[in-house]
Chains A and B, each alone.
Chain A
Amino acid sequence: MNAFAGIHAVAQMTVGDQYRDTGWVGIAVTFVVASFILINIYRARGGRELFIRRIAGLNAIDEAIGRATEMGRPVLMVPGLSTTINAIAVQAVNIFAYVSRIAARFANPILLCCYNAAVYTYAQETIRDVYQQEGLADRYDTDSVRFVSDRQFAFAAGVSGLILREQTAATFFLGEFYAESLIFAETANSIGSIQVASSTETTQTPFFIAACDYVLIGDEFYAASAYLTRKPILVGSLVGQDWSKLLILLIIVIGSLVNTFQIQGTTEWERKDGEWTKIETRPKKISDTTMSAIFKPQAPEVTIDRPKKPTPAPTPSEGGN
């Protein structure tokens, strides 16, 4: 009955707290997912052609810039409201690097508004690189990448002011957006500028859908750079992500089927602190299933005595207490 006796052997050691019972599963899965990603990056580097399906929102990017060029009006980009620089902001700025590269070629003015100084630093550096690689360093104006404010609604006021004054022809809102998403979207819409938007905050997506021309939903945002640049590393990683999603999909399908059948009938066993103990017969609960045993590790309590640390000598600054 006690299927976990083997794993409890671990508990005899003094270390490995987080591995006890089924605690190791989580770490294992994380590593499987990581290896999926790395393996596929390796495959893609090997020059293997990997397929990516069409993503409508991303085809719109070129169109939007083209439009801006025709009208000779600036392209405005906002890499979200991350409170410090993180992968979301990096991803956004990477997409914007692609945008600015095209804009630079057509000598189209750009505006990149940052919410956070670290992101600003990164964007400044990145966009300058882009212009240098295009051999257009002279066209680059450091003020086109600017820090606006790091207070949410001051930022919103500032950016919508910019949109209205500069009459931007194309606007890109990619990254972490919260309530202010709609302020940007509607303001841009009111001057008829094309908007490509995406928020990693699911709760904001509906508002972008309502107000924007093109919306990237969920991790289409993370797929973007792979889709646009087709760099093997990115494409490979994207395939790895798909494998991982399939893995989760399988776990869900199989898991819920297993639960469905295991929960039928009654039981006289119950897990307490990781040990199966006998109880009087009762209808099975979801907590009696293998799946919940796997997902909810509950190691038994063990006491291990260690030598005490030497207590620190009282120091004058502590007044000797």
Chain B
Amino acid sequence: MPGLGAKLQAMPKQIIYLVLITVTTIPLFFDVAVPNEPLEATQDYYATLEQLPEGSRVLMASDWTGSTRGESKGAFRSTLNILIRRKAKIAFYSTADPQAPRVAQDAINELNAERRRANLPEFKRWEDWISLGYFPDSEAANNGIANDLQGAFSGRKDFPPGAPPRDVFQSPVLEGITKVGQIPLLLIVTASKTSNFTVERIKPDRKTGYPKLLFAVTGVMVPETQVFYQSKQIAGYCGGLKGVYDLEQLMENGINFPSKKEAVVKSDKYDVVPGYPSPSNKGQGTRYYPTLHFALALMILLVIVGNIGMALSKREARS
């Protein structure tokens, strides 16, 4: 008959798993507002997007697939919503995974379906966005984009509405673009190291300058990305679920908006960055973040229990 200590140290896995499932399920059915303070990195991310001149052309690497949709899709969707509001023209490409372009397009279609339902203008292929497809070997691809954007994207085609595919450089999105320096913003939504390759490769060019970099990364990548953010190599980043939640809150509340006094999110760094209150701001972040607390709490609890168990069985052994 094992003592309590031993029991506490050897709870059957299946039970633990069941508890985890319940803990991550039940809170989903209630929407709880969690007090939260957007990280500075996320504020910079949002502000940079908001301060983007209307109608600018944007390069966006969509390097995520279904496996990390829990974090990446939320960031992708929110970022896209902001960019569409800024009337940005976006060229999507992927250097991480052959599936990524497909996944990104499906996500865009989903977004358009939502917009149709809300009878908002659609985010039109060829007019507003093009898909450059997948580029094997991230390092090489980023090298190409940095040194010779036209060469890197040459021969890529996309579809004008109802017409056969045409060269992407004839689309309103890339027309007349020859150097990466002509593009004000390069965004990466990634679940892998492609962001690191980009930072290493896209170097400032004395003549044309170079685009601001914004990363939306998974929680795993936060440590590495933080390094680039500190050294000011990137303008801001949206890290993990916390980042997504921050972003959604910023879309709702803005920064120092409507004024420094009444603002929900205050910052010395910015004057006033508007927010656009709307139910459509509530995305994966708002849905998942409360639940995350319970899961983390469960883990901490289990670790404590295990250690108590160890302590107890030590004592039992002594007596």
Residues of chain A having any CB pair with chain B under 8 Å: 152-153, 179, 190, 203, 301
Contact = CB atoms under 8 A, between A and B. Distances in A.
Interface of B: 13, 67, 206, 220, 223-224
Given A179-B220, A190-B13, A301-B206, 5 more contacts: A152-B67, A153-B67, A203-B220, A203-B223, A203-B224
B210 to A, nearest CB: 16
B86 to A, nearest CB: 34
Counting from the closest, the 6 A-B pairs by CB-CB distance are: A153-B67, A203-B220, A301-B206, A152-B67, A190-B13, A179-B220
Contacts, number: 8
8 contacts: A152-B67, A153-B67, A179-B220, A190-B13, A203-B220, A203-B223, A203-B224, A301-B206
Main secondary structure of the interface of A (DSSP, over half): helix
Contacts of B206: 301
B17 to A, nearest CB: 11
Nearest to A301: B206
Nearest to A190: B13
A179 B193 CA distance: 13
Nearest to B191: A179
A11 B220 CA distance: 44
B219 to A, nearest CB: 11
A190 B12 CA distance: 11
Nearest to A84: B137
A153 B191 CA distance: 14
A312 B224 CA distance: 46
A248 B267 CA distance: 41
A320 to B, nearest CB: 17
Contacts of B224: 203
A178 to B, nearest CB: 8
A291 to B, nearest CB: 16
Contacts of A179: 220
A301 B205 CA distance: 12
A179 B71 CA distance: 15
B196 to A, nearest CB: 12
Contacts of B220: 179, 203
B175 to A, nearest CB: 16
A152 B192 CA distance: 12
Contacts of A203: 220, 223-224
A203 B221 CA distance: 9
A208 to B, nearest CB: 15
A245 B224 CA distance: 23
Contacts of A153: 67
A185 to B, nearest CB: 14
A96 to B, nearest CB: 26
